[in-house]
Structure 1
Amino acid sequence: MRPVVLIIDDDLVSQYSTRYVVSQCAPDALIYVSDSAEEALIQLSQLQSARKALPDIIFLDLIMPGMGGWEFIKRFQKVPGLNKETRIYVLSAFTSVKDRDTAKNNSVIAGFFDKPITRNIVKSIFTSRTP
């Protein structure tokens, strides 16, 4: 089954590097990119309305202008009908112990990684996918 990935990041270099690594590890992946958490919620709503495949995996930046990653997660969890099997991986250039602890204690977050994400990490994410 073709994986569907959503990258949410306001930094173009981070978007590009994450997209590149994902496409190297899963060449058949359908990859969506959003510049902001607000845009991502709209995009998810549009996919849902159009009955298109929702993301299996979301790579989420925490620090963005406007709505940050933590607020995105809160809102994502409240949207009825969204794929609750979606795994969210936090990617952050600014790592804090508090953020790592919050992520570790949040059942929606499947992992927390420093940017840029590596090919080995993405390979392990895709090989651990449940069909």
Structure 2
Amino acid sequence: MEGNTVWIIDDDMVSQFAMTYKIEQSYPNYQVVGFYTVEEALTMIKACAETQNGLPNIILLDLVLPEINGWDFLEELENIKGRIDGLEIYIVSAFSNTKDRKLAKEHPLVIGYFDKPINKGSVDEMFDRAII
């Protein structure tokens, strides 16, 4: 997972496919990696942080996930924060919950919040910040 990488953490296969498709159409220089559980993503990000190799540039995170949710993922990331500097995390959720939007806006690791399904404008907004 070298180079420009986007991780999508979402348990919905259709959402993952749609996000991957939109990213690959507009930003083919990015590799997209999908995770269906927070546990999978945490295992991988901890391994990448240890070696400082393979960390993603961007994470698109759903909040509503089975067992461990998106907020739990962010809490776990705070424990390894120094080793993941520069990581851009965006919340992508199907629920327009005002409380979640406010929490996301105030969370130090979260760059932005987008509604599902994401559109090309949302993808461009994310990637305009991340272009290296």
TM-score normalised to structure 2 length = 0.90
Q: Determine helix, strand or coil for the equivalent of 2:68.
A: coil
* CA distance 1:108–1:80, shift in 2 (3 Å): closer
Contact 1:23–1:29 at 8 Å: present in 2 too?
Answer: yes
CA distance in structure 1 between the partners assigned to 2:79 and 2:23 by the alignment: 27
Contact 1:60–1:89 at 8 Å: present in 2 too?
Answer: yes
For residue 29 of structure 1, what is the aligned residue in structure 2? 30
Q: Determine helix, strand or coil for the equivalent of 1:128.
A: helix
Contact 2:49–2:84 at 8 Å: present in 1 too?
Answer: no
RMSD: 1.8
CA distance in structure 2 between the partners assigned to 1:59 and 1:42 by the alignment: 16
- After superposition, give the CA deviation of every residue in 1:15-62 in whole Å (9 maximum; x if it has no partner): 101111111121011211110111100121233455532011000000
Residue identity opposite 2:72 in structure 1: E
How many pairs does the alignment contain?
A: 131
CA distance in structure 2 between the partners assigned to 1:4 and 1:78 by the alignment: 22
* CA distance 1:59–1:80, shift in 2 (3 Å): closer
Contact 2:5–2:30 at 8 Å: present in 1 too?
Answer: yes
Unaligned runs of 5+ residues in structure 1 are: none
- After superposition, give the CA deviation of every residue in 1:63-100 in whole Å (9 maximum; x if it has no partner): 01010000100101212653221011001111211000
TM-score normalised to structure 1 length = 0.91
CA distance in structure 2 between the partners assigned to 1:38 and 1:82 by the alignment: 18
Residue identity opposite 1:103 in structure 2: A
Q: Determine helix, strand or coil for the equivalent of 1:121.
A: helix
Q: Which segments of structure 1 move beyond 6 Å, counting only runs of 4 or more?
A: none
For residue 95 of structure 1, what is the aligned residue in structure 2? 96
Percent of aligned pairs with the same residue?
35
Give matches, 1:1-131, under 5 Å.
2-49=3-50, 51-79=52-80, 81-129=82-130, 131=132
Indicate the larger mover: 67-76 or 44-53.
44-53
Unaligned runs of 5+ residues in structure 2 are: none
